[in-house]
């Protein structure tokens, strides 16, 4: 099966997204849109937050009104030294023992009502070390990098009992669900337990997410971190690679 590769770049200065096909000499100016010839093909989508965050939406989940997260911040920011470039900055204070910070957007141009298997690799920057304990747990070992996908708009909704959660089966913290997978913990070995020493790292899913495109050939994805650390956490999403194969 032939595999096509695409680079997705968001240019915040112009509000335009560009998508370039590598190999074959093809160019598709429509953002996130793959050629639909009626036959599903394997493809690789590369997301680069260094070029912008246009079209993405940030949100939080896994809380109630009484323990709603505070210090919630998101935006396109310079990466801290010694790193260079920009990333999608996400921060929140976990006031209970659970908060999910995530970004989401729609991918389109796939064959309608077709089943696909998605495999994710996420790149991010953190100052959380492994093996460090403190009040509220370990920021490096109790925050889990997660991904999700579904055919409908991924959002935070209120569920019975006053719980605000994602409108899909993401799982929770270290546990994966049908629509979401855990890539690993946030921390990087060798960093200072006091924080402030930043490093770029990657996490890769060991399982795929199966999703069916809607009647218009679209589905949604999400990238984020599910925190079991009772305190403040911040990180920078730098990008992701998604391998998409028809089933």
Pseudo-torsion of CA 29, 245, 146, 76, nearest 10°?
-10
**From the centroid of its chain, how far is CA 202?**
12
Confidence of residue 23 (pLDDT cuts 50, 70, 90): very low
Of 31-35, 137-141, 148-152, 228-232, which has the strongest mean pLDDT? 148-152
The average pLDDT across 213-223 equals 96
Say if 105 falls within a structural domain. yes
Say if 24 falls within a structural domain. no
The average pLDDT across 146-160 equals 95
Q: According to the model, what pLDDT value does residue 15 have?
A: 28
Say if 42 falls within a structural domain. no
The average pLDDT across 7-28 equals 35
Q: Flag whether pLDDT at 9 surpasses 80.
A: no
Q: Are 7 and 22 in contact (CB under 8 A)?
A: yes
Confidence of residue 19 (pLDDT cuts 50, 70, 90): very low
Q: What CATH number has the domain bearing residue 197?
A: 2.60.120
Q: Flag whether pLDDT at 29 surpasses 70.
A: no
Say if 50 falls within a structural domain. no
Task: Give the structural domain span for 154.
Answer: 55-236
Q: Which has the minimum average pLDDT: 43-57, 131-145, 195-209?
A: 131-145
The average pLDDT across 171-191 equals 92
- Angstrom distance (rounded) from CA 221 to CA 223: 7
* pLDDT above 90: percentage of residues in the chain: 72
Say if 135 falls within a structural domain. yes
Say if 46 falls within a structural domain. no
Say if 115 falls within a structural domain. yes
Say if 139 falls within a structural domain. yes
Confidence of residue 6 (pLDDT cuts 50, 70, 90): low
The 3-state DSSP class for residue 50 equals helix
Over residues 57-71, the pLDDT tens digits come to: 999 999 999 999 999
Which one has a higher pLDDT value, 32 or 210? 210
Task: Report the number of distinct structural domains present in the chain.
Answer: 1
DSSP per position, 24-62: TT-EE-STTB----SS--EEEEEEEGGG--TT-EEEEES
Q: Flag whether pLDDT at 174 surpasses 90.
A: no
> pTM value?
0.85
């Amino acid at each position: 099966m032939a595999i096509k590769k695409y680079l997705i770049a968001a240019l915040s200065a112009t509000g335009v997204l560009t998508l370039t096909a590598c190999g074959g000499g093809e160019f598709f100016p429509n953002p996130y849109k793959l050629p639909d010839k009626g036959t599903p093909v394997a493809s690789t989508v590369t997301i680069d937050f260094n070029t912008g965050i246009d079209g993405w939406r940030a949100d939080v989940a896994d809380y109630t009104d009484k323990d709603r997260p505070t210090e919630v911040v998101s935006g396109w920011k310079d990466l801290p030294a010694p790193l260079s470039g920009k990333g999608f900055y996400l921060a929140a204070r976990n006031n209970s023992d659970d908060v999910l910070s995530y970004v989401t957007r729609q991918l389109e141009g796939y064959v309608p009502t077709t089943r696909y298997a998605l495999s994710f690799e996420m790149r991010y920057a953190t100052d959380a070390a492994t093996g460090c304990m403190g009040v509220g747990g370990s920021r490096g070992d109790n925050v889990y990098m997660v991904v999700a996908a579904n055919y409908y708009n991924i959002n935070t909704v209120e569920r019975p009992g006053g719980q605000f959660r994602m409108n899909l089966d993401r799982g929770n913290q270290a546990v994966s669900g049908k629509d979401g997978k855990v890539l690993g913990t946030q921390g990087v070995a060798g960093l200072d337990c006091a924080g402030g020493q930043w490093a770029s790292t990657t996490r890769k899913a060991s399982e795929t997410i199966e999703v069916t495109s809607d009647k218009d050939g679209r589905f949604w994805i999400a990238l984020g971190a599910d925190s079991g650390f009772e305190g403040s956490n911040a990180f920078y999403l730098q990008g992701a690679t998604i391998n998409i194969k028809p089933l």
